[in-house]
Amino acid sequence: MATYKIQEKELQSVFENLLKKNIVEGIMVQKKGEHGIFPVLITDPDLLEGITPSAPLFSFNRAVLLQNNGCRKLAVVVNPCEARAINELKKLNQIDMDNLIVISGDCLGTFDPKDVQMDSTSPENIAEKKSELRTACTVCEHFTPPEVDIAIYGIGVDGGLVLSTDREELLEGLSLTPGEPSANRDAEIKKILDEHLAAKEKMVSGISETLSTTDGTIELFKHCIRCDNCRDVCPICYCKVCYFQTPLGDLKTDDMVNQASIKGLLRIPPDILFYHLTRNIHVAPGCVECGACEEACPRDIPLLPVWKALASDVQSIFDYIAGMEKEVPLPLVQFKEDEFED
Amino acid sequence: MQDQNEYFEHYYEDVPLEDDYLMLAPEIALLEDQTSYIESEIEINAENAIRTSKRKMEGDVLVVGAGISGMQAALDIADKGYRVIMLEKSSTIGGNMVKLDKTFPTNDCSICTAAPKMVEVARHQNISLMTYAEIMSLKGEKGDFTAHVFRKTAYVDPDKCTGCGDCAVVCPVEVINPFDDKLSKRKGIYIEFPQAVPIVYSINYENCVGCGSCERVCDAEAISFLQKSEDIEIKVGSVIVATGYDLFEPLEMRKEYGYGKYPNVITAMQFERLLSSFGPTEGKILRPSDGGKPESIGWIQCVGSRSKQLGFPFCSRVCCMYATKEAAITKEMDPDIDVTIFFMDMRAYGKDFQQYYDKAMEMGVNYIRARPSSVYQNEDGSIAVRYMDTHTREILEMNQDMLVLSTAIIPSKENPRLGEVLGIEVDNNGFFQSGSIVSDPIQTTRDGVYLAGCNQGPKDIPDSVAMASGAAARAIEAIIEREKVTPIPPPEEKDVSGQEPRIGVFICHCGKNINGFLDCEEVAEKAGEDGNVVYSINSMFVCSEDSQKEIREKIEEHDLNRVIVAACSPITHGGLFQDTLVESGLNKYLFEFANIRQHCSWVHSHDRPKATRKAMDLVNMAIAKSKLLQPLSQEEVDVTPVVLVIGGGVAGMKAALALSDMEIDTHVVEMSDKLGGNLNKLHSLFPTDQEPSELVTDLSARIEASEYVTVHLNTTLEELEGFVGNFKVYMKGPDGDEELEFGSAIIASGFGEIDMEGKYGYGSSPKIMTQTELEGHFKADDLEKPETVVMINCAGAMDEERPWCCRIGCGVSIKNAKLLKERFPDSDIYILYRDIRVFGKDEEEYFANVIENLKVKIIRYSEVEKPDVAIGEDGAITVKVRDQVYNEELELPADLLVLTAQTEGSESSVRLQEMFKIPVGPGHFFIEAHAKIRPLDLASDGVYFCGSAHFPKNLADAIAQAEGAASRAAIPIMQGIVKGEGITSSINALTCSGCGMCVEVCPYSAITLDEETGIAVVNATLCKGCGACAAACPSGSARQRGYRDNQILAMMYAMG
Amino acid sequence: MDEKSDFEPRILGFLCNWCSYAGADLAGVSRFQYPPNVRIIRVMCSSRVDPMYIVKALTDGIDGVLVAGCHPGDCHYIEGNYRARRRMVALDQILERYGLKDRVFLEWVSASEGKRFAEVITHVTEEIKKLGPNPHKKKWEI
């Protein structure tokens, strides 16, 4: 593991190097344009000028774009939650890591681009605009990069950033100064984490109360129109064809009449709770808690708290954190003979 | 409490026992003895009563005895396409195994593993099963035997009996139940246990008072006192004797332990029945004297074994482990019960046994090394056990609320008679004599007659099963030229695809068994309301032969394309109705069962309306699924008729020869430059002192002479592809690369001593060597006379790193001690040991002789204080050891220090594991598909193993396994095709994302991701139809045929 | 309270073919009585039970679901019950939040445990009776 001290501006040269040496064909990164900062895919090294890799924005989880990435070599600069989704998708054979270089840095929180002015989107402004941070970020437990090709540390670094990688071949030809984060990095991380954990606990206890009664559950989901947005933006919902798009799950008028005739009445759209619970079963073991689903919901259903509660419930019993490591197998494809015995 | 007491019937002077089987025609006995005083409405016609019926049957192999060994042998032969006639003396198959609660070392439920095998035997079209039958004579010779069999009438027509048990309720006769080992009573008309196969009631004429109550109550009219016993003449080519064993009854000999005198002294088999959920106490451990909960239970080992004066001289092999198992289960059920085992040597010699024993100790099972001298009963009914403390030599007493005697496996008392009938010899213990106890355990003294299981010597279940497969292989030789059974092709299957479901529903009354507790007519009417049900009827016995005819007629008449039977259980009767469908040209998967007897009428017999309602729902669910049923086909693949044997040691050679005898092309691949394996390194064999070179030379010559066996020496396997039926291997040999296609494989990759470097001074002195190296010196005859020899057993064994027992070391050390003593009579020889584990036939006797007559000294050391080896500057070796028996520190000078080294599987195991996708356990030994009933099969189909690739073993066991593996490997070859399951999984390629969850959860490696498309693909031949993949797939792309999402959901919607 | 005492729960049972279904058969042969509320669906292995079925059943208003398989170590398909156990444990975590966990049972019943099967069904039925009807049954219907 090599670590280097680096200024944000120099990141550009790191990316340039990757493109010029043909290590990758393109780089997915954020860039400032006339109407704001947007994720872009850059193949021409000359167009790297003006990139804002650290801009604290999250419009959607870009891991969904990388599913079935094929054989074109790319580097992606993503938030930790996106990087975790990428690692998770790797385990599900949905992403070919051989063709992907994942670059991710410490994340102090992100804004929803529709909520903030574009000029305020630099990490320095986060402290001032804390109340405008995306909810998911305020309860985030994994704001440092998971296992990635190149990690960029900002927390506990005196002036600038620290770049860390065990793939030094990616940095060949660059003259970088070795350097490490300061000794109080861990303490600083802990401080943020404690704050987030407290917020999370509050969020989870709130949702627990809601879900614990049937009425609460119904209130929560009753306006769902089964638009599938939450599913479509979810990086962990990787199925090419969802169960709810197959004849069994996607009820046609005929089916609905048949079902209605069993009880005399069928609430439509049908199977709202079944739909959400099924997503819960499928996604909870791998949920990276990015919050994209909640933001995609046209009916403002507070999905994030639900996932916040369920993901840690399920992952913690298997001693698993989604996407943190590339090689740890998915919890539901393994077992121990002497577990959960009672 | 009074009630509990009734469970236990310990005293049985007045009650006739089923064991007292008399070979007399019951009719005659009845006429002669009983008719004078029985009151029966049945007039026994003197003419009818005389045995006149004479039936003739022809088969290929006769199997005598239907315990686990007999069943395995029969299935192995029948699966190869030959006809088996199977005789069983009692009314059910299954033998002793089904009496056991759980089996060591996996704690598998015994009946769960045995029952499917029993059903398979009963339904196998090549097996004719005769219960209540005994062999009376065997004439002729190998290839052409004529057996006379007497089949006692059970007064019940097996074709009519539905197993409902109404008869037993009314039967006034109560007799001791031998199945519960005399702990309970059963009726005069009976089935041995609820899962009995065939599930047909029987009357033992000795017990019957002829009152006729059963006959009057039987709606199926299955009981007829006019039914005659039969004399049957059977022609076969070979005979397998699998008649099992008896358990020692400590009534006369060993009566000092109070069995039969004190109620709280029971045998281990009785304890098994107490543990069993379908035993007399429904699995509760209760004290026989008062039905109370015991606070302490003791076991005494070696009751009837390891003693010439007070039983039998041999070790009974299984008692250490079953006692450990029983004690551990007791502890698991109730940690407050104190459990103590009094033992002499802990013979935890088998695979995972030592670990099991270690675990039992951890659980708190108390082991005391002592052979108690006597016991007496205290006033409170508890038992005081007297024994001598091995350290202090003090006589101690310990009270036990219950005392369990681990009684020995002994030869059946029938053996002398049976030996005479079969023309085979019985050995001096009373077991059947083998061709050779080390090199031909399966052969009897008569050509064409083979042995399986414990009638040749005490054995554990997997050893019996392996031997049974071996006997099956040997029995084929004489009949190999015979034509195999060609199954009668069923009528052509009707194409029902695209048809609207036309369902026929048949509701069974089962006499009163169903209709008595729910309204079958209403159920049938309700079923008829469904739009797709075109025929619905309730009838008395749907399983009867005339009902099958009716079903066939109705299929024809109403053009039915789905059939539902609502009756008993698909497990027992599903196959029967499926056959009926097939006879009518319907695919058997268009059948659906509703279990309204076992799951409804019998368990809700006090609430007729609710039971009726539930039955309607169950039928409705079956209808819902039935509408979605589709015809399924079973994948068939042709088989390359070649077997690959990996390893040319004795196991590999024996397997190859057994295959050769079955005229199967066999290729033996051996890494080294000659056949013989470890035997080439040995000087002589335990316990016969036979020279292995004779055996190797003999086997090599036979392999050389065989036209079916090709040997590849100096050859290694490089790469493997394919699966059962059609494998292809790339090999590297002396003449370059070779390719070989084969249908099945036997792994006989053997074992070796571990690297002893650094242990007990090994490597630092030429006078320190392993047993194998010592054998080398014997062979070279270059040993100088040592003054003192020390052998350290369990060197590198049974410790944290390698917790297993090497199984063979004790025997080897004793044999080599004897050899040294014979060469150097004045030398002192010490064997330092932890337990003396000589468990096989004649081994105990050999051991006793070496100790008593050759004065080899044995010193027990403990696992916590292992011997210490010091080498002085002059090279002198001193072994320091604490004698655990006398608790004193000894210093032994050693001119020669021999280490009995721990063993482990071949280094090639890891590569073979990857190639064949088979699991490897501790010590590089392969893990069998099932520890008890599939000991020779590996998890991958078509791959079998034998010998020490499984676990270290002595020659006899290795050979029995080798011949068994040959039998297993021959099955796909002789069948010519490999047939998959119908209910396999398939993948919807259009919706599959290729995530691989299904691949990961498949226990049979039947699913792979296509290299090109990334989509999952199922190999239908390997798929066993568990459906794990279907549940793992989030998108519903993995589907299990016959258990598809839509079918299961439809049942859910229909459940009412 | 009255509603509860008249309440006859509808319970769905998934039994594996080799152990639990055979155990249910044995309960029948042994005539062990138990409440008539369970409807059995036979599957080959407990690992066939997709958690989705359970969720579907509960959201459709079925009052309780039982999944029964071979004891750990006894699986006919080597390891299916271990997989079933993991899935059910994960499902439990989710259902717990929704207050539905107590309606789902995972039990091991062997082919020899007829008595135990009857006890399991009795226990499950009693527990569900105590909980009362599945509230989702009516409430989602407006």
pLDDT value of position B43: 43
pLDDT digits (tens, 9 = 90+) for B660-680: 999 999 999 999 999 999 999
Cross-strand pairs, B150: B134, B231
pLDDT digits (tens, 9 = 90+) for B363-421: 999 999 999 999 999 999 999 999 998 778 889 999 999 999 999 999 999 999 999 99
Helix (H), strand (E) at residue C118: helix C114-131
* Alpha carbon of C47: minimum distance to chain B alpha carbons (Å): 5
C118 and A CB contact within 8 Å: no
* Alpha carbon of B508: minimum distance to chain C alpha carbons (Å): 16
CB distance B659 to B704 below 8 Å: no
Average pLDDT, chain A: 93
pLDDT value of position C4: 52
Across A94-120, average pLDDT? 88
Q: Which chain A residue has its CA at the smallest distance from B1001's CA?
A: A333
**Residue B591's pLDDT band (boundaries 50, 70, 90)?**
very high
Residues 6+ apart with CB under 8 A from A324: A84, A87, A142, A146, A147
Of B660, B644, B669, B671, the residue nearest B727 (C-alpha): B644
Neighbors of chain A by Cβ distance (3+ pairs < 8 Å): B, C
Across B786-790, average pLDDT? 95
Residue B86 has pLDDT above 70, yes or no: yes
Domain map of chain C by residue range? 11-131
Which of C28, C41, C70 is closest, CB to CB, to B1051? Answer: C41
Residues 6+ apart with CB under 8 A from C15: C21, C23, C24, C40, C41, C42, C43, C68, C69, C109
Which of C36, C70, C112 is closest, CB to CB, to B277? Answer: C112
pLDDT value of position B438: 80
Cross-strand pairs, B189: B203
Cross-strand pairs, B562: B503
Say if the Cβ atoms of C111 and B111 lie within 8 Å.
yes
Mutation site for A-interface testing, chosen from C56, C67, C79, C93 by largest number of A Cβ within 10 Å: C93
C91 and A CB contact within 8 Å: yes
Q: Which chain A residue has its CA at the smallest distance from B1002's CA?
A: A333
Contacts B1037 to A, Cβ<8 Å: 241
Say if the Cβ atoms of A333 and B997 lie within 8 Å.
yes
pLDDT value of position B571: 87
Q: Which chain B residue has its CA at the smallest distance from C22's CA?
A: B571
Phi, psi of B1038 (to 5 degrees): -85, 125
CA dist B515 and B524 (Å) reads 11
The architecture (CATH level 2) of C11-131 comes to: 3-Layer(aba) Sandwich (3.40)
Residues 6+ apart with CB under 8 A from B693: B679, B680
* B172 upstream amide cis, omega within 30 of 0: no
Mutation site for B-interface testing, chosen from A236, A240, A337, A341 by largest number of B Cβ within 10 Å: A240
pLDDT digits (tens, 9 = 90+) for B946-968: 999 999 998 989 999 999 999 99
CB distance C129 to C4 below 8 Å: yes
Domain map of chain A by residue range? 2-203, 204-333
Mutation site for A-interface testing, chosen from B1035, B1044, B1045, B1047 by largest number of A Cβ within 10 Å: B1035
Say if the Cβ atoms of A239 and B1035 lie within 8 Å.
yes
A143 and B CB contact within 8 Å: no
**Residue A118's pLDDT band (boundaries 50, 70, 90)?**
low
pLDDT value of position B11: 39
Contacts B600 to C, Cβ<8 Å: 28, 36
Residue B39 has pLDDT above 90, yes or no: no
pLDDT value of position B47: 40
Across B642-649, average pLDDT? 98
Say if the Cβ atoms of B992 and A240 lie within 8 Å.
yes
Q: Percentage of chain B with pLDDT > 70?
A: 95
The b-or-e profile of B557-593 (16+ CB within 10 A means b, else e) is eeebbbbbbbbbbbbbbbbebbbbbbbbbbbbbbbbb
CA dist A282 and A235 (Å) reads 12
Contacts C80 to A, Cβ<8 Å: none
CA dist C18 and B862 (Å) reads 44
pLDDT value of position C78: 87
Across B1009-1029, average pLDDT? 95
Contacts B1050 to A, Cβ<8 Å: none
Q: Percentage of chain B with pLDDT > 90?
A: 77
Mutation site for C-interface testing, chosen from B99, B117, B598, B616 by largest number of C Cβ within 10 Å: B598
CA dist A336 and B288 (Å) reads 40
Mutation site for B-interface testing, chosen from C29, C88, C113 by largest number of B Cβ within 10 Å: C29
pTM beyond cutoff 0.80: yes
Residue A218 has pLDDT above 90, yes or no: yes
pLDDT value of position A124: 65
CA dist B267 and B265 (Å) reads 7
Contacts B572 to C, Cβ<8 Å: 25
pLDDT value of position B53: 58
Contacts C28 to B, Cβ<8 Å: 569, 595, 597-600, 602-603
Say if the Cβ atoms of A333 and B1000 lie within 8 Å.
yes
Query: Considering just the CA atoms, what is the radius of gyration of chain B in Å?
Result: 31
pLDDT digits (tens, 9 = 90+) for A316-334: 999 999 999 999 999 999 9
* Alpha carbon of A70: minimum distance to chain C alpha carbons (Å): 31
Which of C86, C93, C99 is closest, CB to CB, to A313? Answer: C93
Residue B253 has pLDDT above 60, yes or no: yes
pLDDT value of position B363: 95
Q: Cα separations (Å) of B543 from A137, B128, B137, B579, C135? A: 67, 20, 36, 12, 43
pLDDT value of position A120: 56
Neighbors of chain B by Cβ distance (3+ pairs < 8 Å): A, C
Average pLDDT, chain B: 91
Say if the Cβ atoms of C25 and B569 lie within 8 Å.
yes
pLDDT value of position B1027: 97
Residue B36 has pLDDT above 60, yes or no: no
Regions of chain C where pLDDT drops below 50: 1-2
Place of tokens 């959901």: B1049
Say if the Cβ atoms of A248 and B1049 lie within 8 Å.
yes
B169 and C CB contact within 8 Å: no
E-only strand ranges, chain A = 2-6, 26-33, 36-42, 74-78, 100-105, 150-153, 161-165, 177-178
Across A239-262, average pLDDT? 91
- Provide the 8-state DSSP code for B1010: -
Neighbouring CB atoms inside 10 A of B784's CB total 9
Neighbouring CB atoms inside 10 A of B860's CB total 20
The dihedral region occupied by B750, where left means phi > 0, alpha psi between -120 and 50, and beta the remainder, is left
Which of C52, C72, C140 is closest, CB to CB, to A218? Answer: C140
pLDDT value of position A121: 59
- Provide the 8-state DSSP code for B30: I
Neighbouring CB atoms inside 10 A of A197's CB total 13
CA dist A81 and A58 (Å) reads 10
pLDDT value of position B490: 87
**Residue B278's pLDDT band (boundaries 50, 70, 90)?**
confident
C129 and A CB contact within 8 Å: no
pLDDT digits (tens, 9 = 90+) for A297-314: 999 999 999 999 999 999
Across B28-53, average pLDDT? 43
Query: Which tops the pLDDT comparison, B1023 or A115?
Result: B1023
CA dist B313 and B838 (Å) reads 12
Across B730-755, average pLDDT? 96
Which of C12, C49, C74 is closest, CB to CB, to B109? Answer: C74
Which of A93, A248, A333 is closest, CB to CB, to B1036? Answer: A248
Residue B27 has pLDDT above 90, yes or no: no
pLDDT digits (tens, 9 = 90+) for B535-574: 999 988 888 877 888 999 999 999 999 999 999 999 888 9
pLDDT digits (tens, 9 = 90+) for B116-146: 789 889 889 999 999 999 999 999 999 999 9
CB distance A133 to A79 below 8 Å: no
The ipTM estimated for the assembled molecules is: 0.95
pLDDT value of position B48: 44
* Alpha carbon of C54: minimum distance to chain A alpha carbons (Å): 10
Say if the Cβ atoms of B278 and C112 lie within 8 Å.
yes
